[in-house]
A and B are shown apart, each in its own frame.
Chain A
Amino acid sequence: MATTSSMFMYSLTIQPPTAVTQAILGQFAGTKEQQIVTASGSRLTLQRPDATHGNLTTLLSHDVFGIIRSLAAFRLAGSNKDYIIIGSDSGRITIIEYVPAQNRFNRVHLETFGKSGVRRVIPGQHLAADPKGRACMIASVEKNKLVYVLNRNAQAELTISSPLEAHKNQTLVFAMIALDVGYENPIFAALELDYGDSDQDPTGRAYENADKQLVFYELDLGLNHVVRKWTDTVDRTANMLFQVPGGTDGPSGVLVCGEESITYRHANQEAFRVPIPRRKGATEDPERKRYITAGVMHKMRGTFFFLLQSEDGDLFKVTIDMVEDDNGQPTGEVARLKIKYFDTVPLASSLCILKSGFLFVAAEAGSHHFYQFEKLGDDDNEEVFDSDNFPADPTEPYEPAYFHPRSAENVALVQSIDSMNPMMSCKVANLTDEDAPQIYSICGSGARSNFKTLKHGLSVSEIVESELPSMPSAVWTTKRNREDQYDAYIVLSFANGTLVLSIGETVEEVTDTGFLSSAPTLAVQLLGEDALVQVHPKGIRHIRPGGRINEWPAPQHRSIVAATTNERQVAVALSSGEIVYFEMDVDGSLAEYDEKREMSGTVTCLSLGEVPAGRVRSAFLAVGCDDSTVRILSLDPDSTLENKSVQALTAAPSSLNIMPMADSSSGGSTLYLHIGLYSGVYLRTVLDEVTGELSDTRTRFLGPRPVKLFRVSVQGQPAVLALSSRSWLGYSEPQTKSFMLTPLDYVPLEWGWSFSSEQCTEGMVGIQAQNLRIFNVEKLSNNLLQETIPLCYTPRHFVRHPDHPLFYVISSDANVLAPSTRRRLLADPALVNGDAAVLPPEDFGYPRGKGHWASCIQVVDPVTTKSVLETLELEEIEEAAKQAAVNGASVNQAVVSQAAVNEAAVSMCIASFASQDNETFLVVGTGKDMVTSPRSFTCGFIHVYRFHNNGRSIEFIHKTKTDAPPLALLPFQGRLLAGVGADLKIYDLGMKQLLRKSQCLSVVPNLIVDLQTQGSRIIVADVRESVTYVVYKFAENTLIPFADDTIARYTTATTMLDYETTAGGDKFGNLWALRCPAKASEAADEEGGGAHLVHERGYLQGTSNRLELMVHFFTQDIPTALHKTALVPGGREVLLWGGLMGTLGILVPFVSREDVDFFQSLEGHLRAEDAPLAGRDHLIYRSYYVPVKGVIDGDLCERYARLGRDAKERIAGELDRSVREVERKIADMRTRVAY
């Protein structure tokens, strides 16, 4: 099918994925400093650790438009710069380098070795680079291994050889690393398993006896040939390998980690094994064996150690003792392996130890942690287990090792990096009555689960807030001398006077500054070297050093209404509409120009730009008049106050500001005129530095109040502070230099000015009612603010109360002991002293038990108290209800008499029942004794809860047994619709249980996972077979499926875009929209009975109609929630989706065909001009499972801003537009609807 569609969407990411699949460490900038490169989804992010502040800052984030599967860093001998190898889905090996000067990644090599895509035999899964940077091996899960020799040529450039093969048929690779062998031939070690025999043996004996092998592949650099040098059988459960330092640093070899075993192996050494110690505690199963799931080796000053993490998150320090010779010098022979408990940190996908003494934990779920080492666990009294006491053969019996987990002693958390991964669901609502809605999401897993509120804004740190005696109207700061580093005075203007405060150790009022204190002030300026100017309604006061004061009085019967100043010029507007212009003389005095200019209307605002470096004056004066115009007047001595250009506006301007700012179109700095209107609209236009022409106007609505604009400085960059009903900051995005306008997460201000002091070099001062506030903005890189409320278990679903700003979250964890079980175990009298200590589960996780479920319902208030109001453990609901029953309340006795509940909540909704006077109830679906894989359960239940206290607490009423856990619930026409297994059922609320009113068996082929409805139409999503449209015939009380899909989509989330169209996401990371054919849609809704639908003949074993695919797009991240919503005030509705890895994205519908054509050709040019870094073809990447249809990749289009000037010009030329126009179109697509 052609890729044209009647529906076109523009896909944008508003928050990139935050899940880290792998993190590597290296000196990527070529300096001594180490950086961290992380892979998250398709993004490669370079982070710089700051040792003094103890935090990580993102330097660069690059979307490679491919699946990053593995990363490795290597360094050529004698060089000090690390290169990065990427194993991706492109069927190519990619070597990139970081170019610090341009802050970008540069591809050095791209070598094709196989088909694209993630396949069983195409290398990319495992990647290992020789520690001396001489070779790398890239392997697939099965069979294929390729070795590339890395070298440098005469120009000191990196070269890569053609691949050497080391394939072995029918062999699975579990793990692969490079051995540290010093400068001998590079050796790669792989954990392999040959399944050839077990595939042939019908008795199954070969399968049982299959051995896992540790295989050493040696690359003979002389012969340019790879050989299997050595193999030996290792523990069957082995899953990971770690490199042991070799050469002069250690004995070389590997650590092989398996179930409760860490074994040292090398070709010429004995095997040494230590067990992974088990946790000791009342609630811990003493028989449970652990795996190592992550780890890191660290070398320092001739020694080395490993930090290996078990699946509970416990870090163990593993060291190797060497045999000593007669002189006490270590020989190359290993004596023993030692292990001891180190600390507990969140379960990691990667660990990195920095030379500066930090530990980066890229967490599997929840926020990533950045720790500082306080000590290395050398002199504590943790028990050490060594290999002398344990047999090297894992099958031999041994006494397990135990330890007591304790709070961290060796590492201290210095930074927690917010991560939304895994995001289980999200919703958009405006609960705080702000201009823009907030995004509410449930993320994290286990005890590190969170309820997060996301708000568009920049975080502000307040430094001072102080109340003033009366309401000020304006504030300025000024230095006393041009050479001063910091501001000296704060000048406050009141309705009838002016107050001057001096900034020093303390801020106090001063009276001897020469400022006129009996009148309000219009402007304050440091003029020339050391003179001050105060503009007040009656004149201009020029305060010369030494206290000499020159006063220019305003002409009689006229007053000054607007003023603007810079360090050499002053312009004032009089109430008569005249403009008077002054310039500083050589001797430092202000000289009035004879030319005066009378404007047609009253002047509302004026602006002079800063004096450009090397000039004597700013060439333009911008004048805003109440006839809704802005005029640019020339200040050139030859043509003083002559009109240069005019711009008509939609309302009278309230504020103007001429300011140079960094600009992505020109690559340098451009002069802008910022205009604020009385209507609350903000405009930014480019002011031509030569002609004074205004062009490229961009508009944004900030709020209903008049806009005031101020020049401030953030991170050394000029920025504009725009004040309306909210405070906004306009700045250049640090990476792309494109202009961003983001609200500040702060009180609305009435006036603002820049502020600089010793404590706060780049601050701002503002007035809010009667308060003076000093604050600063530190981070410009993140414009989505998060607020976090911790939850109990992995959240599964949440709903919002229909009237109150409250959310109800269900959460559950498999294989975790419920609190009642934990309490029973802790109450056991046989408990050994010391085992009863309960550690905080956020850090240590919950005690685990196979087959157990812990699950609860929580009431969350994200607005006022920002906390969980009530937690109901499912395990205890019945007991509480029983208590209530004893006390005389009416509860169904029959159901309450069960012992072990072992239920877990799987779905929820809020339904109002027509039979109960439309009272709303919370309905929760649960499953009993569920096993995820292979799927099994005892039965399901539907619980009903009543709201109390405005929804702030809930009360259990009754529960109804169902055949299977109801995975989807939906309020439907005053009753409840439930998807139970493959059946759709309608329930009404009864006194003792729910009453089934109607049902339709096997609506979908497998399992209903989601339900949506509009009118009588129900959209039923199947776990494997896309969606089915069902109509409910009220007269006959029947549910009739009438349309389904042609493609098996493993649906995870759906939403209805309109009555005919459903958008959804699937487990493989696709987004799609399906539409019901008009004829079928009408036929389904025909009046009367549904006989014609029931008797219609099915088509190809499905319903009689098929849905049409409108839109299809591969996002990589698994969509877990979709919503049709508007995100900005006045913006159009977009389709917002949230992904499992923490992505937030939007699909914006196109309105005009011209825009579609424009962006399609832009996309085409960018694919060619800026081909994805990892070598994946962009179009094929977005068409991973199904050809992309009706979607333009906005993330690719936005890369336009990062191109070089030449490439920009070229593309713009091809599109018959200017670079500025192209950038404006791209920026508009985002700013009109989102952030």
Chain B
Amino acid sequence: MADKLRAQQQLEALQSRYVGTGHADTTKFEWTSNIARDSYASYVGHPPLLQYMAIGLGEPREKVRLQMVEKMVQPVGKPPAVED
């Protein structure tokens, strides 16, 4: 039992430390949101990639950066309604 508890605690520590660490009950919404947020953070964090997209969109880099971070708020639409 103690092992199980420790495993649980370790998992929780990981989850709090590294956003996006999954668990047994990860929903599709959480999972896809995480992937999308990771992607947007990566686009913003790699200067050449951001520029590549800015050229494609025909917008200044700063505006594309803002759009990307803005999309991280709700990257895959509304969360599903909670079923009771």
Contact = CB atoms under 8 A, between A and B. Distances in A.
Interface of A: 19, 21, 41, 67, 69, 89, 118-121, 124-125, 140-143, 169, 172, 174, 193, 195, 198-204, 207, 210, 239-240, 291, 293-294, 311, 347, 349, 364-365, 421-422, 445, 794, 813-816, 932-933, 1067-1069, 1116-1118, 1139-1141
Given A19-B47, A933-B56, A202 B79 contact: yes
Given A120-B37, A202-B82, A1068 B46 contact: yes
B57 to A, nearest CB: 5
Contacts of A349: 61
Given A172-B73, A207-B73, A364 B41 contact: no
A40 to B, nearest CB: 9
A172 B41 CA distance: 10
A797 to B, nearest CB: 13
Given A120-B41, A207-B73, A67 B62 contact: no
B19 interface: yes
A1140 B48 contact: yes
B77 to A, nearest CB: 8
Contacts of B55: 365, 422, 445, 794, 1140
Contact of B72 (A195, A365, A1068): A195
A814 B52 contact: no
Contact of A21 (B20, B47, B53): B47
Given A193-B73, A198-B74, A1140 B51 contact: yes
Interface string B43-76: 0111111011111111111110110010011100
B78 A143 contact: no
A125 B43 CA distance: 11
A203 B78 contact: yes
Contact of A199 (B45, B62, B63, B79): B79
A1069 B46 CA distance: 10
A1160 B48 CA distance: 29
A1118 B78 contact: no
A813 B58 contact: yes
Nearest to A793: B58
5 contacts: A120-B41, A202-B80, A291-B60, A364-B61, A1069-B48
A651 B56 CA distance: 56
B41 A119 contact: yes
B81 interface: yes
Contact of A293 (B33, B51, B63): B63
Contacts of A202: 78-82
Contacts of A347: 60
A118 B46 contact: yes
Contacts of A169: 19
Quick one: which of A142, A193, A240 has the most chain B CB within 10 A? A142
B10 interface: no
Nearest to A293: B62
Given A118-B42, A364-B54, A814-B58, 7 more contacts: A118-B45, A125-B45, A201-B78, A421-B51, A816-B58, A1118-B48, A1140-B48
A125 B49 contact: no
Contacts of A816: 58
Smallest CB-CB A-B distances: 4 pairs: A814-B58, A118-B45, A120-B41, A293-B62
A421 B51 CA distance: 10
A119 to B, nearest CB: 7
Contacts of B61: 293, 349, 364
Quick one: which of A121, A141, A422 has the most chain B CB within 10 A? A141
Contacts of A294: 62
B4 to A, nearest CB: 26
Contacts of B18: 121
A120 B19 contact: yes
B12 interface: no
A204 B69 contact: no
Quick one: which of B47, B61, B78 has the most chain A CB within 10 A? B47
Interface string B12-34: 00000011100000000000010
A239 B66 contact: yes
B49 A291 contact: no
A201 B47 contact: no
Contacts of A293: 60-63
A226 B20 CA distance: 26
Contacts of B59: 311, 815
Nearest to A141: B41
A814 B33 contact: no
A870 B78 CA distance: 51
B51 A201 contact: no
Contacts of A69: 45, 47
A210 B51 contact: no
A204 B62 CA distance: 27
A1141 B48 contact: yes
A1118 B50 CA distance: 11
A143 B69 CA distance: 13
B72 A172 contact: yes
A639 B19 CA distance: 81
A67 B46 contact: yes
A1068 B45 CA distance: 12
